[in-house]
Amino acid sequence: MVPLSLGRTSPQGSEGRELHRSLAWLRPANIAASTNAEVRSLFTWLAIFVAFGVVIALAHVWLRLKVTDLGYVLPATHQVIQKLESERQELTADVARLEAPDRIEEAARVRLGMMPAQRGQEAVLP
């Protein structure tokens, strides 16, 4: 024996009928329309709250993963900063050594064969 709600067939009618009327055969015959609407409304609100909770849970998990990832990246970043700082200090010392006036004068004499200017070899530019 088939329950009453399952024994109904789809109504044959014009396309102008409402969606509510065309889907009336899906409702069980033993539940009143007002009760069915209340249950649907409660179910809709429950679905909205569950979806909202899932979104909040996913956001929380994503944030925790980001914090964990940054926790792993932070020590590596500190190591890179320390390495670059020591390299900067070495390069600053090299620049100071290379720009020393005594070293420049020696390189001019030895490599280029330059001598200090004699009296009369100097020219004054306008």
Interatomic CA distance for residues 124 and 107, integer angstroms: 25
Share of the chain above pLDDT 90, in %: 48
Rounded average pLDDT over 49-54 = 98
User: What's the pTM value of the predicted model, to 2 decimals?
Assistant: 0.44
- Contact 37/20 with Cβ under 8 angstroms? no
pLDDT in tens, 57-88: 999 999 999 999 999 999 999 999 999 999 99
Q: In b/e form, how buried is each residue of 60-70, taking b as 16+ CB within 10 angstroms?
A: eeeeeeeeeee
Total residue length of the chain: 126
Distance CA 69, CA 74 (A): 9
**CA 18/CA 24 separation, integer angstroms:** 10
pLDDT digits (tens, 9 = 90+) for 95-121: 999 999 999 999 899 999 998 888 888
Question: Tokens standing for 66?
Answer: 């980001």
End-to-end CA distance of the chain: 119
Could you report the per-residue pLDDT of 26-48, keeping only the tens digit for each?
Answer: 666 655 656 777 888 899 999 99
Distance of CA 95 to the CA centre of its chain: 41
Residue 13 has pLDDT above 50, yes or no: no
User: What are the phi and psi torsion angles at 75 (to 5°)?
Assistant: -60, -40
